Amino acid sequence: MSAVYIHFPYCNSKCLYCNFYSETNLNTQKRFIRALQKEIELRSGELRKDTVKTIYFGGGTPSLTPVKDMALIVEALKRHFKIAAQIEFTVEINPEQATPDFLRALRKLGVNRISMGVQSFDDRILHFLGRRHTAQQALEGIRHIREAEIDNISIDLIYGIIIRGGDEWLHDLEVALSQSIQHLSAYALTLEENSILYKELVQKNPAAYQVGKDMDENIALRDMNLLLQQIANTPFKRYEISNFAVPGYESKHNSAYWDGTPYLGLGPSAHSFDGATRSWNVSSIETYCKALESGEGSFEVEDLSLTDHYNERILLTIRTAKGIDLKKIEEQFGEVYFTHLMNEIALLNKAWYQIENDHLILTEAGVALTDHITVQLLYDSIM
Ligand code: SF4
Residues 133 and 46 both lie in one domain = yes
Nearest CA to ligand 1 atom 2: 60
Q: Which atom of ligand 1 is nearest to the CA of 131?
A: 4
**What is the C-alpha to C-alpha distance for residues 183 and 150, in angstroms, rounded to an integer?**
13
Strand, coil or helix: 184: strand
Domain assignment present for 146: yes
Residues 6 and 143 both lie in one domain = yes
Residues 39 and 177 both lie in one domain = yes
* CATH number for the domain that contains residue 7: 3.80.30.20
Domain count along the chain? 2
Residues 213 and 345 both lie in one domain = no
Domain assignment present for 112: yes
Domain assignment present for 236: yes
pLDDT digits (tens, 9 = 90+) for 224-237: 999 999 999 999 99
Domain assignment present for 371: yes
pLDDT at position 382 is 43
Q: What is the 297 CA–ligand 1 centroid distance (Å)?
A: 25
pLDDT at position 241 is 95
Which residues does a 6 A CB cutoff place in the pocket of ligand 1?
11, 14-15, 18, 20, 22, 59-61, 94, 117
**What is the C-alpha to C-alpha distance for residues 3 and 273, in angstroms, rounded to an integer?**
10
Q: What is the 126 CA–ligand 1 centroid distance (Å)?
A: 12
Residues 193 and 317 both lie in one domain = no
Q: What is the 250 CA–ligand 1 centroid distance (Å)?
A: 23
Domain assignment present for 345: yes
Mutate to test the pocket of ligand 1, among 7, 17, 20 (most ligand atoms within 8 A of CB): 20
Domain assignment present for 104: yes
Q: What is the 60 CA–ligand 1 centroid distance (Å)?
A: 6
Handedness of CA 9, 15, 20, 21 (dihedral sign): positive
Put simply, whether the predicted model's pTM sits higher than 0.85 gets the answer: yes
Residues 69 and 171 both lie in one domain = yes
Q: Name the stretches of the chain with pLDDT < 70.
A: 205-215, 381-383
Nearest CA to ligand 1 atom 4: 15
Q: Which atom of ligand 1 is nearest to the CA of 92?
A: 2
Distance of CA 256 to the CA centre of its chain: 12
Q: What is the 118 CA–ligand 1 centroid distance (Å)?
A: 11
Strand, coil or helix: 382: helix
pLDDT at position 7 is 98
Q: Which domain holds residue 321?
A: 306-382
In order, the DSSP letters of 104-160 are: HHHHHHT--EEEEEEE-S-HHHHHHHT-S--HHHHHHHHHHHHHTT---EEEEEEE-
Angle between helices 306-317 and 370-377 (to 10 degrees): 160
Q: Which atom of ligand 1 is nearest to the CA of 94?
A: 3
Mutate to test the pocket of ligand 1, among 16, 19, 23, 61 (most ligand atoms within 8 A of CB): 61
Residues 310 and 248 both lie in one domain = no
Residues 64 and 177 both lie in one domain = yes
Q: What is the 366 CA–ligand 1 centroid distance (Å)?
A: 31
CA atoms within 13 A on the CB side of 248: 4
Beta bridge partners of 190: none
Q: What is the 14 CA–ligand 1 centroid distance (Å)?
A: 6
Q: What is the 18 CA–ligand 1 centroid distance (Å)?
A: 6
Residues 16 and 165 both lie in one domain = yes
Mutate to test the pocket of ligand 1, among 22, 65, 94, 131 (most ligand atoms within 8 A of CB): 22
Q: Which atom of ligand 1 is nearest to the CA of 60?
A: 7
Residues 315 and 239 both lie in one domain = no
Residues 39 and 100 both lie in one domain = yes
Domain assignment present for 157: yes
Nearest CA to ligand 1 atom 5: 14
Please say which residue of 198, 231, 257 terminates a domain.
257
Residues 90 and 222 both lie in one domain = yes
Domain assignment present for 335: yes
pLDDT at position 48 is 72
pLDDT at position 209 is 64
Whole-Å CA distances, 319 to 19, 199, 283, 360: 22, 30, 27, 11
Strand, coil or helix: 185: strand
Q: What is the 193 CA–ligand 1 centroid distance (Å)?
A: 15
* CATH number for the domain that contains residue 371: 1.10.10.920
pLDDT at position 79 is 95
In order, the DSSP letters of 224-253 are: HHHHHHHHTTSS-EEEETTEEE-TT-S-HH
> Is omega for the bond preceding 60 within 30 degrees of 0, making it cis?
yes
